[in-house]
A and B are shown apart, each in its own frame.
Chain A
Amino acid sequence: MIDNLHDQARGRDIAVVGIYCDFLAQQEQSTTNILGAILKQLANRGGIPEHIRETYRKSKNEFGHRGLRLPDIVEILKKTITPLQRIFVCVDALDELTPKHRRELLKSLQEIVRISPNMRILLTGRPHIDDEVMEYFSKAVRMPVSPTQDDIRSYLKMRLGVDTTPKAMDDKLRADIMRIIPEKISEM
């Protein structure tokens, strides 16, 4: 999806950034670090904007080089995003953040979108965070995800292609796998 957006954005002043949340990285995936990672991708794409350089130098000199705090980074993001024609922000597996960070992130994104309506947000997550998402973005468009039968067939074909014990396979077993598994999954 991110690659598809990248293709659409090529040659236009459109940025695409992606964040993958992970249970195993809950500690370091704080709201500040996540929003910082969005900035990092923007800086990697088009060079570091002068205002970020200035803020960095100031923080280095004035505050004994303290790290960024959430309000700082929200302000920097707003400033960086505003001149862009459009920015797509994709956050995968939002449910894997801690509840505290998840709420903070949604709240920050809500605040940024209010100032920068050129931002589009794509979120993915398990169904139980639906209420939270709707709380911050009541007009969010919700899309259920389930693999199509075609997707499952492509997947099975790929897995059968890398079978480590191909001798145990015959045409009938193969046909059964390709028929029964997609059926069963769509019944789930």
Chain B
Amino acid sequence: MLSGRQQVTGNINSFNAWTRYNNIINITAEQDAERDQILQWLSPLEPQQRHEGVRTNRLDCVGNWALETDQFRKWCDVQDGCAELVLFYYGNPGVGKTYIR
């Protein structure tokens, strides 16, 4: 059995741990709230959601030709300061510029 003093110390310790824990939670919650506000302030758009949709619906392997062209590879690897920093894929509606589904 614990002595009275040990018990009190134990209680204080767990109380300290408990407040520390709560402080951490408060700070994290505050930071998270600010994080969400900042993200919303930066833009109301959610392009990542649209990307998830495209990823789910697209047909695998289709359009891989585009990844295997010299132009695409070169664009990925070209050194900074080179002129060809922009790649423009053009085509009529429905040819599969976004994806094929």
Footprint of B on A, CB under 8 Å?
1-5, 8, 17-20, 25, 28-29, 32-37, 39-41, 43-44, 48, 52-53, 56, 59, 67-68, 73, 86, 88, 92-93, 113, 117-127, 129-130, 133, 137, 139-148, 151, 154-155, 158
- Total contacting residues, chain B, CB less than 8 A: 49
Chain A residues within an 8 Å CB radius of B48:
41, 44
Q: A93-B97, A122-B87 known; A56 and B71 CB under 8 Å? A: no
Footprint of A on B, CB under 8 Å?
34-35, 37-39, 41-48, 50-51, 54-55, 59, 61-63, 65-67, 69, 71-72, 74-76, 78, 80-81, 83-93, 95-98, 100
On whether the beta carbons of A20 and B90 are closer than 8 Å, the reply is no
Chain B residues within an 8 Å CB radius of A144:
89-91
Contact of B76 among A3, A120, A127, A143 (CB under 8 A): A120
Between B41, B90, B91, B100, the greatest number of chain A beta carbons within 10 A of the residue's beta carbon is seen for B90
A92 to B76, CA, bound (A): 17
Residue of B at shortest CB range from A133? B88
A117 to B92, CA, bound (A): 30
Chain B residues within an 8 Å CB radius of A56:
34, 37-38, 41
Chain B residues within an 8 Å CB radius of A137:
85-86, 88
Chain B residues within an 8 Å CB radius of A36:
42-43, 45
A125 to B65, CA, bound (A): 18
Chain B residues within an 8 Å CB radius of A52:
38, 42
On whether the beta carbons of B75 and A120 are closer than 8 Å, the reply is yes
A74 to B48, CA, bound (A): 21
* CB of B46, distance to nearest CB on chain A (Å): 8
Q: A20-B51, A127-B90 known; A92 and B98 CB under 8 Å? A: yes
| 23 intermolecular pairs with C-beta atoms under 8 Å apart | A1-B66, A20-B54, A25-B45, A29-B45, A36-B42, A52-B38, A56-B41, A113-B85, A119-B85, A123-B87, A124-B89, A125-B88, A126-B91, A129-B90, A137-B86, A137-B88, A139-B84, A143-B88, A144-B90, A144-B91, A145-B96, A146-B91, A147-B96
Residue of A at shortest CB range from B40? A40
